[in-house]
Structure 1
């Protein structure tokens, strides 16, 4: 089994044995051009939405496990430059973001 957090390009693999769940390994993706999430201080939590409104970071979408391989679907994210050009208040802008 594998667990991951939103916007982390890594996941943690666990094995189940004898009714126990044990940590096996951490797997980090090396996606050099992925968009990183913007961190927001706890003191600024009220401004979180305005600080991150143009931040669409890379993220793992799905993980599939076969008997000997793990397959992952992820996105690299959308650059802040591009998201600033799209008007998300308009339906066309929302559709454009969905396509990206």
Structure 2
């Protein structure tokens, strides 16, 4: 039962990743593309957590945590670049 739930959740998250990637490619504005990239990162983190549950391994949870930190820093850096035009003051 748990395996089936993980497989269904992974399929739905995969669909969400495809839709986020479509918005990343076709976004009318740079802000839409940044939001799509952040959403794609969150979906990838969710897939890593699901794969960790499926394989019963803690390594994927640590990888998901590192990916979350890098995704947050990347989003903040892109937004700061858009607001000020440079990253370092």
Question: With structure 2 as the length reference, what TM-score do the two structures score?
Answer: 0.29
Relative contact order, higher structure (CA 8 A, sep 6+): 2
Question: With structure 1 as the length reference, what TM-score do the two structures score?
Answer: 0.27
Task: From the two aligned structures, give the one with the greater strand fraction.
Answer: 1
Which structure has the larger Rg over C-alpha atoms? 1
